[in-house]
Structure 1
């Protein structure tokens, strides 16, 4: 099944089931994360689909919110594709390189992205994993069983801020700059590997397959669960393939008005226009 979070007319959000008929069926949960927090969430969806009292929203009228607007944890893995590691001039890692974002960073699949204060805005098309059950000290099999599904993300990065120090956090956790969606495809309907592509103004700049990940989704969830508990609705970004702007010669970054498109076969497509405002000098 495919699940989404839609904005509603009253200013809130609702979880929804994509029906496959150019429409969404509203579900009794405020968002996909709240739905997954219900132990019998699959039954909730099935009951709603079988009900005679349904709220159906046509795809043309659907306003896609961030898939997990209240995610308790957003954890990202950097340098996880062999080609991207090479273009950044690094060696294959022994352990995952992790950093965190907040739910405040997330935006919807077609939302505009406003950037104030950075002049080196880069793209990172990624497969993201949505946690479906509590994981703590999980092995890989347990972690695999704890995957609710997969979605599309772009770990937009402010390279000028990221490169100020050895810690990446300040270049990664900007409010309202990480598109996620449009839907969660449940693990039982998703494939084993995914083709991840990124475009800038229609030009293909990234094209990689998750079969080349150094650390796969189950490995990442298992590793993370050794030091922090993962709960339903948490989000893990698995890294980006080669083709980021900083790795180009000369380096290339998003400009005001550019459209960043991120797509994964079998899941969906993000399309976000960027408004980039001149950076203000900061004495740090």
Structure 2
């Protein structure tokens, strides 16, 4: 099942359930009104409700299948937004694919012994279709990084690796946009990663699968394939990442963890191929969809 936050043509914002086959989305507010079911107002609230919220959603969808009384919206007629209302940093992982490490340091290519964590500020988050700003007064080296992101579903600390999937609500896509010159200049990565608009997220959240899953990641710039990777090649897999984080940080429902990017970023080319005005970045991850954003001043 895929859920997303969207805005209708008349400006009403809600979340809903996507049907890929018909390219439509059923609004939660419309389902609630049609079937007198209590559904949360936002996806953030749905996550906090845990299994109870998912069961209520499933029950309402079953009623709709039996007696369709809510009219879905065509995806082409609504605007998809960032799925979550971000109140906390996005937790990110650096150097988590061998080939990505090699494209930055071809001589040494040292694989880290432990996961490298950093964060992006919530003010950097934007939704599908929103413009990635070049910030030309601040940086001249804006780069893209297509990534699978996981969304935590349960508050917990010290999660054993074999219990991690029980604590995951779902999966989405993040573009870890980076100002390479700021990243290098300031040593710590926060500033170069957190400029406004530097964290496109969406277009949807894939939920309902508590088992280990492999995702294929493809990043295009202006329809040219730049990145082709698989989460099967992660150096530190999802259980390792979440378990390691939870030993130091209490993870909460709605926390977003981006798992790292495969090879093919702009900095890895000779000469580098950074983003420019009027570029378009599209990231497709199997089963989730495509996150597409224009680039501009």
Give the TM-score, by structure 1 length.
0.91
Residue in structure 2 matching 1:46, options 51, 58, 62? 58
Q: For the Cα contact (< 8 Å) 2:166–2:210, is it kept in 1?
A: no
Which stretches in structure 1 are left out of the alignment for 5+ residues?
277-284
Q: How many Å separate the matches in 2 of 1:165 and 1:126?
A: 23
Aligned partner of 1:111 in structure 2 is 130
Equivalent-residue separation in structure 2 for 1:5 and 1:134 (angstroms): 23
Indicate how the Cα distance of structure 1 residues 11 and 229 shifts in structure 2: closer, same or farther if over 3 A, else same: farther
8 Å contact 2:9–2:78 — kept in the other structure? Answer: no
1:92 maps to: 111
Q: Report matched runs for 1:13-52 at 5 Å.
A: 13-20=13-20, 21-27=22-28, 28-39=39-50, 40-49=52-61, 50=63
Superposition deviation, residue 142 in structure 1: 2.0
5 Å-filtered alignment, 1:136-147, equals 136-147=157-168
Name the structure 1 match of 2:170. Answer: 149
Residue 34 of structure 2 corresponds to none
Contact 2:131 2:197 in 1 (8 A): no
Cα pair distance change 1:103/1:214, threshold 3 Å? same
Count of matched residue pairs: 276
Q: CA RMSD in A?
A: 1.9
Greater shift in the superposed pair: 230-239 or 180-189:
180-189
Kindly state the Cα deviation for residue 10 of structure 1 after the two structures are TM-superposed.
Answer: 6.8
- Equivalent pair of 2:8/2:77 in contact (CA under 8 Å): no
Q: Please state which structure has a larger fraction of its residues in helix.
A: 2
Matched, 1:76 2:82: no
Query: Shift of the alpha carbon at 1:239?
Result: 0.3
Q: 1:123 aligns with which of 137, 140, 144?
A: 144
Contact 1:118-1:160 within 8 A present in 2 as well = yes
2:196 alignment counterpart: 175
CA distance in 1, matches of 2:274, 2:210: 35
Structure 2, gaps ≥5 residues long: 29-38
Kindly state the Cα deviation for residue 55 of structure 1 after the two structures are TM-superposed.
5.6
Q: Partner residue of 1:134?
A: 155
1:66 and 2:82 matched:
yes
1:210 is matched with which residue? 231
Per the alignment, do residues 246 and 195 of structure 1 end up closer, same or farther by CA in structure 2, a change over 3 Å counting? same
Deviations 1:98-150, CA, capped at 9 Å, x for gaps: 11112221111222222323211001011111111112111112222111111
> Is the contact made by 1:2 and 1:186 (CA closer than 8 Å) also made in structure 2?
yes
TM-score (norm 2): 0.87
2:165·2:210 contact (CA, 8 Å) conserved in 1? no
